[in-house]
Structure 1
Amino acid sequence: MRDSLPGVSRDERPGSRCNGHTSVHLAGHRAKLFSLSTMKTESLLISSRALCVPPAPPAPPSLPQCYIRCGEENDCVDIHCSWDPKPDPETNYSLHWEPAISEEGNVINGTSSDGIIQRKHFKHGELRVWVQAKNQHGSATSQDARFNTADIIQLLPPKLLLVTHEESLEISWNSTCDEQQFSWGHCDVQYRIEGDQVWLQDMDIFHGSYTVDSPQPGTVYEFQVRCSCHTGLTSDWSAIYRIRSTETAPDGDLDVWGDCGISHTISDCVVTWKKLPVSQAHGLILGYKVRLSYNNNASEMLTVTPVQPLGRVACEKMQCPFTFPLKDAASVSVSAYNTHGATVPSYLAMPIPGKEKNEQAIRLVMTEEKLTVSWDLPSQLSDHLQEYVVQCKQAGRPPGHGFDWIKVNKSQTTGIFEGQYRKYTPYQVSLFTVSDSSEVRHLSSAIGYSLQGTPSTVPSFKVFYIAPTDVTLFWKSTPLAKQNGVILYYQIIVESGANPQKVYNASVSPQRDNETFQLLHLSPGQEYEVRIRAVTAAGPGANETAKFKTKHHEHFGHLVAVVLGINLLVVTCVALVLYSAFRAPCFLYKVPNARNSHIFRHMKHMNGSLSWICIPVYEPNPQISVLEVVEIQPWALSSSLEKTSDPDRFTRPVVGDGGSKTDCRDDQRKEAVAEEGHGTNHRYGREEYSKMVDFDEERNRGENGEDVWSSSEEEQPESGYEKHFMPTAFEVLEV
């Protein structure tokens, strides 16, 4: 296939180069097309640098604007002309003029965009003026400007004077028409409140004064005036003239709010208020009065200025953060004041720590210039609801910094913020309600981004637990400052040798800083590689990798043998301990305190043939005192029994530890002792213990039935304890 195209030739004439490259001109003959064997299409590639627009004459200048400006010294003589040229440093401009009825002309050459026709080069009357632009490739001429020199005289702007009244603002000015002996024409006035962008204008005023009725009190107004004479051009606007109206006491309420950060505790809160608008300030605000009310009914009044030496408040732009400690504060009231009075205090109740939240979903639509927050009205609107408060704050900033709020009527469900929001930066948006009693309740919060990006890697990723067929993964959540967007989920990719990779999506838990995920159905003794990455609306972030090897299965029979062996060892040890505990009292003789003798009344009779068995007797709720225990070895007891003439001096002790234990002597010893008892106790040759008088419970009764002691201080017979249990002096010496 052949196409007929103009040929390509090089033109080396001067001026044919474009940015250092030789220009290419298309000639009027056929160009050969090179066919590529691997492609079935034919093309001709021509560098874009080689195709330059050939040099051309300059564009025509605009219509010249000419005037005769009168200066401070009444030098209304020269004609000043200006025009709008195209930005081309290689172009020369020339200003031409001639009388309208004559062919005599003059010219001024230069490269600027304006020129001056001196008085000596023209005559009063009609003139024709034009501008010519010329370069090496040609020239162009503007349209002609025709005017009478008397009509292009422009006087200086008027000078403004102030005439004020309490209920109005009046300005006046002197026109320069009188100075040039011209008759007055008309004037234009424009004014605005300082800081506004739009001017209010009043045109065609034929006298030298203007009045603004009912100005806002204590407000700075800006004025400008321009005038024209009966003939000539209108003057330029005068310099801005500023007037402050009479001050009055401020009115309205301060917009007060508190930023408590994430913790929502009073100690972390910073109270902030917005400056009063000019329409409410009514003058220069000198400072603010802040009253703090505490939970113990105490109060404190503070007076702060916009620039406080102690650093309690420092107004920035339109907000004034109050950094005074608010611990134990229940409420805050703030009012603004000037030289004429103060506003009504604005009340703010501090949030209640630990107050239960009524979570409600909020929706965010965020760009770099605008944030729109919306929510749903509750099914039943509370009668005590006063308004909603929507707060927007750059996440991570300390309380009182980088945040704004708006108050919304209770019947509305949308709040709009205007501002500059940074890319990839998290902003925390919170929704609150304020009741008629000024109680603040936090409903919900959400994180928004003006533009989202891919997140950074997770800060820590480990294999927490390894088993033969499953493992538990552990990682720390990506910090909010490095998320670059709302993390939708964490993606986990698992690979093992030639096996196909598996991908899991782990959900995000905003309330937790650490996340876990369990991988199931793994192969025992297999090596694995696992990668994790966070995913936002902009896509996944960088990977973090970990490697592990699952464990092998343990032999079940070996494990059972080990467990049974351990159990058998434990049972043996317990049996030995119990056997030692029951046998130990049988080899020691203990003497109980006679106060607890009532315990033994509930013992079984020990005179039978089975009385040698150690049987503990249970007594519910016994009153047991600390016993003094005297241990006597069996050989000492046997020796004493053989030597003493009164075998009743000894008895077998009974354990007084909440129950009783009989002696476990062998049968031969029992029979020998019983023969020596002579009809008393068959075991020990003693009177039965149940016949003893209890020390705590039994007392001798007097004749009148009152409780009395059976002995006096002078007469101290042997007590029952000494008689039955204590050895005699002879026995002690024998031992």
Structure 2
Amino acid sequence: MNHFIVLAVLLPLRTCYTTHSQQESIVFPVTYLNVSKELAFQRLLVEWDVGKSAHDAELAMLFEIQVRRIGETTTVWTEFHNVTLDKSGDPLHWMWDSDLPLECMSHSVRIRSKAEASKIWSEWSPWKTVLGLDTLNNSGPQIFPNEKIVEEGSDLTLCCIGRKGHIIEEFSLYPAPHVFNHTNSQIGLLTVKNVAHQAVPHITVYCRESCTEEECYDHAVLFVGKPPNIPNDFSCETQDMRTVTCTWSQGGDTYLYGSHSPKYTLSEEFSQNPIPCTVTCSEQCSCSWDIGQQRIYNITMTVENPLGKKTATDVFDVTHRIYPAAPFQLWEECRDTEITLYWKYQNKGFELFCQTEVVQPDGKVKLHNSSDSHLHYASITLSGLQPYTEYTARVHCAAAEHFWRWSEWSEAQTIRTMEAAPSGKLDIWREITQVQGGRNVTLFWKQAPGFRANGGSISYEVAWEKEEGASKLERMSFSSACNSTRISIDNHSYRVSIMAKNDVNYSLPSVLIIPRGTEKELSGSELQEEQINGTDDGIFISWDPRHMYDSYIIDWCNFPTLQPCDLQWKRFRPNTSSALINSAAFVPGVRYSFRIYGSVGNRVSLLKKKTGYLRELPPLFDPKVEKVELTFNAVTLSWDSYPTDESQSGFIRGYHVYVSPIQEVCSLQGSRKHVLPDNSVLCKYTIENPEEKRYTVEHLLSNTKYKLAVKAYTGGGETPIVNFIYIDTPFNSNMLYLLVLLVIVPSLVAAICHWKLNWVKDCCCPVIPSPNKSKVLSFKEFKIGSEKVLKMNLVPIKYRRH
């Protein structure tokens, strides 16, 4: 040891003469080591030194530091620490944060050193130990840490120290599902990975020794939270150039409350003084202070809790951060199409630019800008409004020179414009019925799309007079609840007008000319009614446009079978040639009739009549077969006149005739197969003429039982077959003639021939042993070569008369 001291003393004097090999062998062991603990941060504080000679040489040195826990065979931490010494001679320092509470176990530290130029390490210093509470004689088990604030997502190690001579039997967390059981140790350890916030204010730690007395238990609490978030909406502004208010949101929940909740402080860089304000928070935090003479600010807002600290800054000129107070005390002056709106505001010596929001009756919003201001109030005139209409208005303002943000809206004001005469015209229509000595005219009216009542109460006035010659003008008035009336006129041409009236004046009159005309001309009976088809959206109607008409009108009844039928009409522009008529009253299976009129100079002419269905349905009932005519191979069916008018649920397109034998599948020539739901097969014949009321089915079998049915069909199909007509075809008389001709006659001939056959046989083929004995044949034998040949001769027969 003395040898090293001498070298250390002489080193500064011989630095220039030390060889490289000598530098590699010089060591500077640790001469002083002290270890203490800072329990608030669970930190070991290590202080050591290597002697004055190393400091004087200002050596660059490397230290290896090891930490171990008493009772464990391996080190828990090893770290290399580089440092360049200086001549001050101050001791060296190092800190180590423990993941295990320092109270739980005794910790020891040792250090060795090496000059960077040397290859030789010094000897290890002796272990320096700081004792844990495990060495003390406690009165009961103790848990560390106790009431610790833990950051969510971190790892945590806890310990429970039992009394000497006792072991920890149970160590657990609630509600976290971690349980530690140990049966042979005074110290229990519990590690929780990725600590999560629970739906309770804190986590309870529970520890029990291997006994049941009260002193055998201990518990602690853990608070799991988050560090505060950076307030990203931090900003400052003024309403009156006297007070600055900074606002920000609290950010996400840190799960820490009470004394652990986030704390906010504000400071200002230019004045170097803390800002004298009290922070208030609900959902939004704020802080206010008097401006004084300062105009430029650099504000830093700091938020911190036990788990961390965050800051946000805002640099601004107060004159550019004016956020005016909301306008107040609105009042108005109204006319029929204009409103002048007034409001008051707090005049703080800066010019305002205001904006008025007007909500229209249809819900649309319009914005109007204004800068007209007086000493204590401002105003704006809103024009182009509708008479006797409610509008809702509100106002907000901003600084005119340096716009920062709009003020809050004023309270909304609902304003109604004044009344005016009704604008636009009523839409008028009529229905004419010929009666004895004249006509009854039912007048209908409704408000056209461009019509506006412009008043609170409205009534109607109907007037009519003859077009030619002097006649008295007739008038009738009706309340707003009426939309039709009936007048009686003679067969002259009349001019009918109708006006709407409110408390101010009349609207422009709507005029309709009722021309002279016969019942035939009025009804258009000479026009053929055309069939039309419906669609999913309505009933499509088209017509040929004519240049002389200034508009077209289509009328129809919503309920054709009722009286009144709820007559409806629509007008169309002169360049229109088609329309899709729809109504909530339209239903499938009902026939609707439409009349298309052309209008010119308030006179109308009937152009077309159309009829159709929204959707056709099958016929309501089947044709009734009145007559069945049978032959042995045909049947003729006749049915009475079948209705095809508007009482039907579709246009009758024709008929189907079905036929089949009772016992067999039908396969008649010229028919098509039709399969019933029960898989039986019928023959089907189609009659495409709805006027046809008779049909003959041919190629039937005689003496056979058949079933038949007649069905009408529409564009919506036909109803299922329920009832059949049953017939029996008669026996065919021609078959008896054929039977006699082909069976009986040949049989008689065969019998006669059989009777005569014996006589012929006796004459020609008697029963004889040799052909030579025949009465009619003779044979001679002669030879041809070596062959014998018989020659046959016919013997004449002598007939004997009886």
What is the TM-score normalised by the length of structure 2? 0.42
More strand per residue: 1 or 2?
2
What is the TM-score normalised by the length of structure 1? 0.45
> Which structure has the larger Rg?
2
Give the number of the structure with larger relative contact order, counting CA–CA contacts within 8 Å between residues 6 or more apart: 1
